[in-house]
Structure 1
Amino acid sequence: MTLPVGFAVTLDRRVRVVDGGKALLGGFPTRLLSLTPRARPLLTGRTVRVTGRASAVLADRLLETGMANPVLAELPPPGEDARWTYVIPVRDRPEELDRLLASIGIGHPVVVVDDASLRPSDIADVAAKHGARLVPLAVNVGPGGARNAGLRLVETPFVVFADSDIVLPEETVPALLRHFADPRVAMAVPRIAGLRTGGAEGWLGRYEDTRSSLDLGGDPAAVRPGTPVAWASTACVVARVDALGDGFDAAMRVGEDVDLGWRVLERGLRIRYEPSVVAWHEHRTRFGDWFTRKAVYGTGAHPLAVRHPEYIAPAILAPWSTALVVALLAQRRWSVPAAAAVYAGTTLRIARKLDRAEHPVRLAAWLTANGTVSALSQAGNLLTRHWWPLTAAGCAVSSRVRRAAAVAALTDIAFEYRKDNARLDLPRFAVARRLDDLAYGAGVWLSAARGRSPAALLPRLVRRTRRRP
C-alpha cells in the first residue's frame, strides 16, 4: 500500500533538520535519520510531496517514525466511495441525543443504539424525530457492546462513532475522511473540546477546558503507545469498517476504546489525531460526577494490562535514566555528582553512535537532555499520580519523600499551567490538578486490587525502545 500522488507531509515541529539538511533528528523514539543524496531534494523546506515512488517511500518513512504529519489541506479525497454511517450509543440522555442529531443533520444513515434506557420511549421519540434507525437493547451491555450492535448494521465503507454528549461541527467528518487517502489509516479522531454550557464557566469546567482527559493536545500526531498521543478516545472517531474486525471488546466497560485502537495498530494500520478539527463535548462539571469519572478512567488500567502488557506501563525508562532518577531521589551528597556522571557517560555513548553526524557530541547532549527531562517528568507522575498512595505513606515517615513529592507536584503544576494557558487562576488549577491525579490514581489501584495484579502499576525498563507498529 503506497501513498497516492498529491499526498503531502510536513515535519513535526519537534523534528530538527541537522548536518546541513543531510539528516533529521526526532520522532518517537527519537532517532537520527540520514537522508540519501536522492532523498534530500524531495524535502522542500519541511515538506515532502508525493510525486512518485521515491517521494512516497520517504513520506511513508517519515509518517512511520513519527517525524512528519499529513498536510490536511493538501490531502487528496479518500476514494470514490466515502459514504459513512453514524453509530450513536445512548442511555437516558434524550436531550443530549437530540442536540447531537440536530448537529449531524441529514444526508447520512444514523443508527441510535439505546443501551437499556430507563425511559426508552424518550430515546425512541428523539430518534424518530430525526429519522434515525433505533436499535433498542433489553439489557445494558456498556458502550463497547452498544457500538458493536450498531456496527453490525452499517453498510457504508466508513462509520462515525459519536457519544450522545458530543456536538459535531459540519466540517469535522469530511476533514477526518481526508486522512484515509493514506491506505494504512484505519481510524481518525478530532480534538475533543469543551462545549459551552451553563456549567462550563465554573472552576471545574474551566479546568476541563484545558485538561480534559479526552483532549489530546494541539499537535497533530500518529496515535501509538510510547508517544505523546498514546491512545485515542472513541467519543468521536471516523473509522474504516473493514479495519475494525470484530469491533470493541464488549467485556470491557472502561478502556474499550483504547483496546480497540491498540489492536488496530498491532495489525500494522494507523490512527491519526487531527486537532485542526474538533468535536464539542459536554464535560462533567459537578464535582461528584467529575471526580467519579476520573476514577472510573483509572479502573481501565488492569483490563488493559491483561490485554496489552507491553503498552500499559505508567513509565518507560532506560537503565541510564533510571539510574539518574534514583540518584537524584536519594538526595545524598553524592546524588548530583552521580547524576552528572550518568548524564556525561550517556552523552558520550550516544555520541559514538552518531559518529556519522557533523556534530555528534552536540546532538548527543541534546538527546540526553530530552531523555532526562522525560525521565524526571515520568518519575514525577509516578509520585503524584500512579503511586500517590505509596507517596502519601512515605511522606508520613520520610522528609526526603516529602521533598521529592513537593518538588514533583509544584513542578508539574507550574509546567502544565503555563503549557495549557488555562482560563483558571493558578490556585484553583493546582487544586483541580491534584484532585485529578488523586482520582485517577485511586482508580488504577482499585483496578489492580480487583485484578490481584500490580501489572498496571509497574514501570517498564527498556534497553532500547522498540519501534511501534
Structure 2
Amino acid sequence: MTPLPRGFRVTPDQDTKQLTAELLFGGSPARVLRLTEAGQAAWRELADGPVASAAAGVLARRLTDAGLAHPVPPEPATPADLTVVVPVRDRAELLDRCLGGLDGRHPVLVVDDGSADPAAVSEVAARHGAKLVRRDVNGGPGPARNTALDHVSTDLVAFVDSDCVPAPDWADRLAEHFADPLVAAVAPRVTPLAPDTAAGRYTRAASSLDLGDRPARVAPGTRVSYVPTAALVVKAAAVREVGAFDPELRFGEDVDLVWRLHKAGHRIRYAPDVHVDHHEPSTWQGLLTRRARYGTSAAPLSQRHPGLLAPLALHPWPTLTVAALLARRPGLAALAFGGSVADLVRRLRADDIPADGVVRAMATAVHQTWLGCGRYGTQFAAPVLAALLLRRGWRAAAASLLFGPPLAAWLKQRPELDPVRYTAAAIADDVAYGAGVWAGCLTHRTLEPVRPALARRLLRTDPKGKR
C-alpha cells in the first residue's frame, strides 16, 4: 500500500469512534478497523502531528481510503502549475462574472463550444486576458474540455463552468491535495447561487450539485460516490491516461470520468472547505427540466459501469422490518428487528468487538431503509403510490413513502420554504429525475438503473488476529 506522504495530517471523520485501544468504527461503507500494536502507535503519532514515519503513512492511507479520516495537505512549497479551463456556449454575461472571480495567477483558456454569438464570447475572453479556442460545432461540456486538454501543457487543469463564480484562490487551495501522488482529482463544494424565488429557495436547500459540508474520498458505493465537473481540479496526465471525457455522454460525463479514474487506482477527493458558487435556474420549469436531463444519464452510465449505479441498496433485516411496518404487521416487524439485532451482536462478539449501541445502529438502518424506499418509490413509481393513496388499506403506507422522506429532510434542514411547498417541490424533483431515468432506460433498452441491489452486510469487520 502506498503510504500517505510525510507532512500530511489526518483529521478523523465526524462519525469515527474509537471503541477500544485497538478498534476504530466509522467510514463509508461503515466498518470496524482493528489496529495492531504498531497500528496503535501509528494512530497516536497521527493524533499528535503530521505523518513522520512509514507506519503512520500506511495507516493514514488506510484510514483516508476507508473514510475513517481525511487528509490535510501540507503548505505547498511552490505555486501550482495550473491552467484554468472554462467551457462556454454563449452566456457571455455569466462568463464575464466567472472570469472576474479568478485571481489572474494562472493562465485561463476559454473554449467556445459553438456559440451562436462568438463575438460576445471573444470580447469577454479578451477583456480578461484569457486565451480563446473555438469549436465550430457544439459537442457539449465533455468534448469542450477534451479540446482544452489538447491545448494545455501544465500538470494540473482546473475546470470551471461558465455559470460558476469561483473564489480567487479556489484552484490553488484544491491543488494542495496533489502533494499526494495518488490523487487525480479534487472537487470543491458547489454552492447554489439562486434567485429569491420559490424555486430558488428550494434549490438552496436541495441542490443536486451541493454534496454537503463533510470531506470525503470519492468512490462508487460510498457516501460521496461522484463529484460534478462544474468545478474540478485534475491531474492532466491521469485524465489523459483514462481517455479523458466520453464524447458520447451529454450528461453524466463527470460521473463516468470519476469512476474511470477510481478504477485506474487514482484517488479523488471532495474538499468542501473550498466553495464555488453556481448559478441555478430561477423557475420550476428550468429546475425540473435540468433534473430530468440528469436522469437520462443513468442508463448509459449503467452500461459503462455495471453494478455501480443501483438506485437503492436493500439489506435483508432492515428491509423485512420496514416491509412489516408498512403492511401494519407490528409483531412481524418486532421479530425482524430483534433478529437483526441478534444477528449483528453474534457477528460482533465472534470477532471480539463490543456490541454497545447495536439497537440504535439497527434502528438507524431501518430509518434509512424507509427513507430510501420512499425516494425510490417516488422517483420510479409515483403514479402507483398516488393510486394507493385512494385505497383504504394502503393509504397510510403510501403516504408514508411519498411524504415521509421530504418531510424528514425539511425537519433536518429547516429551509426557507414552508413544509408543504418544500414537500411538493421535493416530490416534483424526484418525479422529474425518475422520468429522465425511465426515458434513458427506454432509449438504451435496459432496466439496470431502476433495479435495486441486495446488500448482505451492514458492517465490515476485521476478524480477530488479522494483521
- The TM-score, its normalising length taken from structure 1, stands at 0.91
**Residue among 333, 354, 363 paired with 2:348:** 354
Mark the CA change 1:357 to 1:465 in structure 2 (over 3 Å): closer, same or farther: closer
Match 1:340 to one of 331, 334, 339: 334
- Taking a change above 3 Å as real, the CA distance of residues 10 and 356 of structure 1, as seen in their structure-2 partners, is farther
- Indicate whether 1:204 and 2:199 are aligned: yes
1:65 counterpart letter in structure 2? A
User: Map of 1:62-461 to 2, 5 A cutoff?
Assistant: 62-71=63-72, 75-77=73-75, 82-195=80-193, 200-244=195-239, 245=241, 246-331=243-328, 335-355=329-349, 360-395=354-389, 398-461=391-454
Displacement of 1:376:
1.7
Post-superposition CA distance 1:36-83 (Å, at most 9, x none): 222224335994731101111111111111111123xxx214675721
Structure 1 distance, partners of 2:68, 2:379, is 30
1:206 is aligned with what amino acid? R
CA distance in 2, matches of 1:40, 1:286: 54
SS in structure 2 of the partner of residue 76 of structure 1: coil
CA displacement 1:409-455 (0-9 Å, x = unmatched): 33222321233241223232222212211211111111112222211
Kept after mapping to 2: 8 A contact 1:7/1:70: yes
Q: Deviations over 1:269-316 (max 9, x none)?
A: 111111111001111112221121111111111111111121111101
Between 1:368-377 and 1:234-243, the stretch displaced more is 368-377
In 2, are the aligned partners of 1:314 and 1:386 still within 8 Å (CA)?
no
Deviations 1:297-341 (A, max 9, x none): 11111111111121111101123333333333333xxx2222222
Amino acid at match of 2:16: V
Question: Cα gap change, 1:302/1:389 in structure 2, threshold over 3 Å: closer, same or farther?
Answer: farther
Which of 29-38 and 146-155 deviates more?
A: 29-38
Matched-pair contact (CA < 8 Å) for 2:29–2:223: no
CA contact (8 A) 2:295 2:436 kept: yes
One-letter identity of the residue aligned with 1:143 = P
CA distance in 2, matches of 1:311, 1:458: 11
Within 1, Cα distance between the matches of 2:57 and 2:63? Answer: 10
- Matches of 2:336 and 2:220 in 1, distance apart? 27
- Pick closer, same or farther for the CA change 1:337–1:132 going to 2, 3 Å: same
Q: Which moved more, 1:157-166 or 1:451-460?
A: 451-460
Aligned counterparts of 2:252 and 2:111: Cα–Cα separation in 1: 19
Alignment partners' CA distance in 1, 2:437 and 2:76:
40
Gaps of 5+ in 2: 461-467
- Equivalent AA in structure 1 for residue 82 of structure 2: W
Distance 1:418 1:320 in 2: 27
Contact preservation (8 Å) 2:113, 2:144: yes
- AA paired with 2:13? D
Taking the aligned partners of 1:455 and 1:466, their CA distance within structure 2 comes to: 25
Paired AA for residue 187 in structure 1: A
The CA distance in 2 between the partners of 1:105 and 1:249, in whole Å, is: 31
Q: Give the Cα separation in 2 of the matches to 1:70 and 1:368.
A: 30
Within 1, Cα distance between the matches of 2:116 and 2:80? 36
Contact in 2 for aligned 1:79/1:181 (Cα 8 Å): no
Question: For the residues of structure 2 that align with 1:45 and 1:213, how far apart are their CA atoms?
Answer: 38
What is the distance in 2 between the residues matched to 1:291 and 1:132?
Answer: 34
Q: Distance in 2 between matches of 1:371 and 1:360?
A: 18
Paired residue for 2:463? none
Closer, same or farther in 2 for the Cα pair 1:108/1:81, shift >3 Å?
A: closer
Paired residue total: 456
- Tell me the distance in 1 between the aligned counterparts of 2:321 and 2:45: 37
Matches within 5 A, 1:17-28: 17-19=18-20, 21-28=21-28
Once the two structures are superposed, residues 384-426 of structure 1 have per-residue CA deviations (whole angstroms, 9 ceiling, x without a partner) of: 2233244335445x44443223112332223212332412232
Q: Partners of 2:459 and 2:321 in 1: how far apart?
A: 22
Contact 1:254/1:299 (8 A) holds in 2: yes
The structure-2 alpha-carbon separation of the partners of 1:421 and 1:227, relative to structure 1 and needing over 3 Å to count, comes to: farther
* CA 1:107–1:175: 2 relative to 1, 3 Å: closer
Following the alignment from structure 2 to structure 1, what is the Cα–Cα distance between the partners of residues 164 and 303?
A: 30
**Paired AA for residue 249 in structure 1:** D
Once residues 432 and 394 of structure 1 are traced to their aligned partners in structure 2, the CA distance between those partners, rounded to angstroms, is 20
The 1:147/1:300 distance shift into structure 2, 3 A limit, reads: same
1:266 to 1:93, Cα distance in 2 relative to 1, 3 A: same
Amino acid at match of 1:327: A
* Amino acid of the structure 1 residue aligned with 2:53: G
Amino acid at match of 1:274: A
Shift of residue 118, structure 1, vs aligned partner: 0.9
Structure 2 contact 385–402 (Cα < 8 Å) conserved? no
What's the RMSD between the two structures over aligned residues? Answer: 2.2
Asked whether the equivalents of residues 9 and 69 of structure 1 are also in contact (C-alpha less than 8 Å), the reply is yes
